[in-house]
Amino acid sequence: MPLPGVDVGEVGKKLAMAVVNQGFLGLKNVRIPRTNKLIKYAKVDRDGIFTASPASRVNYLTMVYTRCLIVNLNSALLLQAATIATRYSAVRRQSPIEPKSSAPLMADGIEQLRLSTGGHGNHIVANLSNIYGNAVAAYTYESENSVLLLQIGRALVKAWASYKQAETLSSSYAYFETSMRLKEFPKWDNSWQCIVRALQYTAAHKTRIAFENLSQLIAAGQSQAVAANNTGIELTRDAEVSSSCNYCLL
């Protein structure tokens, strides 16, 4: 049993990832000694005054690492689903609708792969339902999906502000400079390079629009938080296009 004033438990059953505990902790009239707190970077002094970490990147280290891990794990899930569906389609035989014609194979995502195996894909022994459940849960591991897009949008706008002040940016934002040099997009040539340039060009201008809208609202007297909330649509669109751009580059 927990100590008096301590309320601890499990949130409840999930769609998948049952091996991961998601618990809650409530403290009422409980004093935690400073020696028992994780205060290597952020600190709370004896008077209860909180001091943030001097290195802002440290605050996001665990979160960014976790999200990178989610992407890596889900790529493995897609590989597993593709392997199961491919082996199934290689072994199973079915007469085509028309003689001497080949039946189409669906291989675009885990759900399509599951459907391509017919009733077999719905069996527990196929493991596709478990893979699908784990992959679907990844959309909201770190919060509601639009909240994640807003976080990305705010990071892009912050980088754009640094770009406008001629500060040195990481290579991830190098497309700001190359895209803004273009007065208009060059002739389309159907190449992969052209696709990437088009996405970079669009992403850069989406970031510019979000930055300008945010700046106008702040200049009109709104606080940073309120202005960011009222720029939510622009920030979300910016994040979606920039994510597509990075996906193509990878």
Residue 211: CB partners within 8 Å, gap ≥ 6?
157, 160, 161, 164
| pLDDT (0 to 100) of residue 112 | 74
Domain that holds residue 123: 58-140
| pLDDT (0 to 100) of residue 220 | 92
| pLDDT (0 to 100) of residue 119 | 66
pLDDT tens, residue order, the chain (250 aa): 788 999 999 877 765 667 777 788 999 998 888 888 888 888 888 888 888 888 777 777 888 888 888 788 888 888 888 888 888 777 665 444 445 544 333 233 777 777 777 766 667 777 877 777 777 766 666 666 677 788 888 989 999 999 888 888 888 888 888 888 887 787 888 888 888 888 888 888 999 999 999 999 999 998 888 898 899 899 988 888 887 766 555 5
Buried b / exposed e along 173-200 (16+ C-beta atoms within 10 A): bebbeebeeeeeeeeeeeeeeeeebbbb
Q: What is the CATH number of the domain that holds 34?
A: 2.40.110.10
Reading the block at residue 127, the tokens are 């493991």
Same domain, 126 and 73: yes
Query: Cα-flanking dihedrals φ and ψ of residue 9, to 5°?
Result: -175, -175
Q: Which amino acid is at 8?
A: V
Same domain, 171 and 106: no
Q: How many domains does the chain have?
A: 3
Same domain, 118 and 149: no
| pLDDT (0 to 100) of residue 211 | 93
In a domain, 233, yes or no: yes
* Active-site residue set: 142
| pLDDT (0 to 100) of residue 28 | 92
pTM for the whole structure = 0.50
User: Of the candidates 42, 44, 62, 60, which has an alpha carbon nearest to the alpha carbon of residue 52?
Assistant: 42
Same domain, 202 and 116: no
Same domain, 123 and 35: no
Other CB atoms closer than 10 Å to residue 103's CB: what's the count? Answer: 11
Q: Which amino acid is at 13?
A: K
Contact in structure between 35 and 46 (CB atoms under 8 Å)? no
Same domain, 126 and 191: no
Same domain, 96 and 166: no
Buried b / exposed e along 225-234 (16+ C-beta atoms within 10 A): eebbeebeeb
In a domain, 225, yes or no: yes
Same domain, 135 and 74: yes
In a domain, 1, yes or no: no
Same domain, 136 and 190: no
Contact in structure between 105 and 90 (CB atoms under 8 Å)? no
Same domain, 14 and 102: no
Q: Which amino acid is at 73?
A: L
